[in-house]
Structure 1
Amino acid sequence: MTHRIASDTAPERAWFKSSYSEANGTACVEIAHLRHTAQVGIRDSKDKNGPALVVPSGAWAEFVAAVRKV
């Protein structure tokens, strides 16, 4: 896992809101698939120019699968 500035991680058009984000918009997570590096960027939608976590795509897929089981 690495930390980067979100705007340096992926272009704005690459980010999308996670379907697991709250409907009221107070706890929204956005992700960007970084296909050229087989990684996923994760950021807080309220801080688009703030930090982003970057994790391997496989780790993200495992996380999402575990969340779906809950």
Structure 2
Amino acid sequence: MRRARDQLLTFAAFSGQVAATNSTCERNLRPAVVQRKMTNGHRAMWAARAEADVRTVVATAALRTKATPFATPLAAITA
């Protein structure tokens, strides 16, 4: 219990380095949640893992490059 309380105001100790909320994470998860709700989820675990893998590669490419998010996976597939 004490450890959680000590970490409660971490964002104040590291101003500008740690976000005060988890809004960014929730915004990043929203498309996957909406897709899951619209399609009623995946019937097979391999399909869920495959989608998670694709979303991870696309999101990482979007953060690391100035190109479109799908350019990196497309280049990897066609190489």
Q: TM-score, normalised by structure 2?
A: 0.27
Which structure is higher in RCO with an 8 Å CA cutoff and minimum separation 6?
1
Higher share of residues assigned helix: 2
Specify the structure having the higher radius of gyration (Cα): 2
Higher share of residues assigned strand: 1
